[in-house]
Amino acid sequence: MDDSLPAVKVSRKAEDRLRCGHLWVFGDDLREVPPRLPNGQWVLVISRAGELLGTATCNLSSRIALRLVSRGTERPSRAFLEKRIRQALRRREEAGMGGLEALRLVYSEGDFLPGLVVDRFGTLLSMQILTAGMESLRREVVSVLDDLLSPRLLYERSEGAFRRLEGLPERRGVLEGDGPPQETVTLDGCRFLVDVEAGPKTGFFLDHRENRKMVRELARGKSVLDGFCSTGAFGIYALAGGAARVLGVDVSGEAVAAAGENAARNGFGDGWEGRVGNLFPMLRELLSAGRRFDLVILDPPSFTKSREGREGAVRGYRDINRLGLSLLAPGGILATSSCTQLVDMAKWYEALRDAAADARVDVHVIAKGGQSPDHPVLLGVPETEYLKFAVLRVRGT
């Protein structure tokens, strides 16, 4: 055992959780903690009997106090980071994704690097550090990414609720390289301008890649509503699949403008209509006006980041999907998703069943999906499987 790292003893409940494959220990499951541990400190995790359970990063001000980075002993070092990032890159190669122009290279707990997210967009890298443990190795992360991947530009988007929960200031800006923070990338034959400075999250949502392919296969000849359209990916895949026309709606005027530019970039400008507004009232307006669609796509943002908001999130899914189902023409298709980590598949499906009952329609589930393989799911950490996707067809009379 490495005596140079402080040791933290945990409860039996935490021991069982870690031995079942999870990586987290909550604050109320700590039993013996050295005094004055700084946030981000790397520690050894010890059972009640003194057995080593692994190495973790520690943040006593966070609800998740310990995040395991290894089942053995590891020291916070550049060598450790390089080993882990190489393993993550190899996983993408094994999944047949290594040569893709745009993909997630590092996915936090899914790659045993809790709090580190790295996306590639052509010659750009967009990085997020979301935990105090990874923040303590920030310079080493930058160095390894620069040496292994030689990006034209490495941009940081370390911001948002998770970072605030860790007690960390938000960071945004260029870390290495030069040139514009935008690049045009091709995904499955569709071209998108990705802006890692001003775009959503790290610049573009990569997790729906396989789900967008499903939509493309279903879209031929259809009128389509792309709800929460962001920069237009679902709608543009639908147009690539032969959709007759797409109405894209988002609350962000910048996103709707970017979506229209992406549609034109792919030669679909005539088939794209963009509207700025809150989708809930806009769907009600469309319904009152008698507007109907053959295919409705709903890709809402997370409806809650806290356990206290979970029931409200379930109600939100019920309401938005009721409206989506009500806007379908006879025999129409709803492609709907949830990225709310705290609403599991069972609860989300319950919300979909309630939505169908409220809309007074019977639906068939014709396809299911989730996050693409560059967002690997760690079996012992169910939180790494956050994205839920279903394609529902309204039963004809």
Question: How many other CB atoms are there within 10 angstroms of residue 194's CB atom?
Answer: 25
Residue-range domain boundaries for the chain: 7-70, 78-180, 207-394
What local confidence, expressed as pLDDT, does residue 3 receive?
63
Instruction: Return left, alpha or beta for 136; rule: phi > 0 is left, psi -120 to 50 is alpha, else beta.
Output: alpha
**Residue 341 near residue 303 (C-beta atoms within 8 A):** no
Under DSSP, is residue 120 helix (H, G, I), strand (E, B) or coil? strand
Distances (CA, A) of 195 to 51, 54, 107, 125: 48, 39, 20, 11
CATH number given to 78-180: 3.30.750.80
Cβ pair 207, 387 in contact under 8 A:
yes
Neighbours of 97 (CB within 10 A): 16
Question: Is the CATH code 2.30.130.10 the one for domain 7-70?
Answer: yes
Chain center to CA of 157: 14
> Which residue type is seen at 353?
R
Q: Name the DSSP letter for residue 119.
A: E
Largest CA distance in the chain: 71
- How confident is the model at residue 160, as a pLDDT? 87
The two three-digit tokens of residue 394, written as one number: 């309204």
Helix, strand or coil for residue 199? Answer: coil
* DSSP output for 264-323: HHTT-GGGEEEEES-HHHHHHHHHHTT--EEEEEE-PPPS-SSGGGHHHHHHHHHHHHHH
Q: What is the pTM of this model?
A: 0.93
| CATH 3.40.50.2300 correct for 207-394 | no
Give one DSSP letter per residue of 147-177, joined into a string: HHH--SEEEEEE-SHHHHHTT---EEEEEEE
Whole-angstrom distance, CA of residue 116 vs CA of residue 110? 10
395 Cβ contact partners less than 8 Å away, ≥ 6 residues apart:
361, 362, 363, 364
Contacts of 3 (CB under 8 A, 6+ apart): none
Structure confidence at residue 397 (pLDDT) = 58
**Is 175 within 8 Å of 156 (Cβ atoms)?**
yes
**How far is it, in rounded angstroms, from Cα 145 to Cα 159?**
19
Pure H helices in the chain: 12-19, 78-94, 132-135, 138-149, 161-165, 209-218, 233-240, 253-265, 279-288, 310-326, 345-359
**Amino acid 342: pLDDT:** 87
* Contact criterion met (CB below 8 Å) for 36 and 80: no
The whole-angstrom separation of Cα 32 and Cα 2 is 17
58 is catalytic: no
The residue from 58, 190, 229, 339 that is catalytic is 339
| pLDDT for the residue numbered 4 | 85
Q: What is the pLDDT of residue 309?
A: 82
CA dist., res. 359 & res. 319, Å (int):
10
Positive or negative, the Cα torsion across 99, 102, 105, 109?
negative
Q: How many CA atoms lie within 13 A of 378 on its CB side?
A: 21
One digit per residue, the tens of pLDDT, for the chain of length 397 reads 556 899 999 999 999 999 999 999 999 999 999 999 999 999 999 999 999 999 999 999 999 999 999 999 999 999 999 999 999 999 999 999 999 999 999 999 999 999 999 999 999 999 999 999 999 999 999 999 999 999 999 999 999 888 988 999 999 999 999 999 999 999 999 999 999 999 999 999 999 999 999 999 999 999 999 999 999 999 999 999 999 999 999 999 999 999 999 999 999 999 999 999 999 999 999 999 999 999 999 999 888 777 788 888 899 999 999 999 999 999 999 999 999 888 899 999 999 999 999 999 999 999 999 999 999 999 999 999 999 999 999 987 5
For residue 132, the model assigns a pLDDT of 95
Alpha-carbon distances, residue 331 vs 88, 142, 240, 293, 382 (angstroms): 43, 51, 22, 10, 35
